[in-house]
Amino acid sequence: MEEKSKGSSHWKGQSRVLKVCHWHSSHLPPLRHAAICALDLGHKPTALDDNLLFIDIKLKFSHDDLPPNRRYEPVGGFTMTVAEVRDVFGNMGVGTILDSFKDANDHMRKKGGLGVVAVMLRAHNIVDIVKIILPSPASTKAVQEADDWGKDWLEKLRLAVELD
């Protein structure tokens, strides 16, 4: 009976991760825009090398009645340095994942892009690290200047996800 309980718990955790992955993949444009504005990448593209975005999401009250891309909402968030992430998460394998972003950034820069931004999404006490490809430095700047969410990036993200 204990084995069944562990298996059930494991499946429940995997199911939650899959639901969060579906949610974030349904909202890549607003998540990209939030990262650009929160990290001020249009004006300080080098911030991409040492910073990432951390966003808390939670299930909405009526989530069972909603389609998968509407079940979650952003409820908190902040920027973090890579050093802070390493300090907070220690030996949980995050270092290896963060190191992979350097290679991804180098690869995307060779293709003319700004790089890849790391976004950490936390839901159900699980943290998922998402890589979001950014456009060229000029396009990133144009995107931010056209609609700079500034310090209100979380509220604007919440609205954009709702309308997306």
Predicted confidence (pLDDT) per residue in 121-143, tens digit: 999 888 889 999 999 999 999 99
More confident residue, 21 or 29: 29
pLDDT at 155 over 70: yes
DSSP state at residue 93: S
Provide the pLDDT for residue 159. 96
More confident residue, 148 or 88: 148
pLDDT > 90 fraction of the chain, expressed in percent and rounded: 63
pLDDT at 13 over 70: no
More confident residue, 136 or 9: 136
Q: How far apart are the first and last CA of the chain?
A: 44
In sequence order, what DSSP letters do the residues of 35-59 get, joined into one string? HHHHTTTTT-GGGGGTEEEEEEEEE
Let me know: does 117 contact 39? Beta carbons within 8 Å: yes
pLDDT > 70 fraction of the chain, expressed in percent and rounded: 88
| Average pLDDT of the segment spanning 22-31 | 90
Provide the pLDDT for residue 1. 38
Lowest mean pLDDT among 62-66, 90-94, 104-108, 142-146: 90-94
Let me know: does 145 contact 132? Beta carbons within 8 Å: no
Lowest mean pLDDT among 18-22, 90-94, 128-132: 18-22
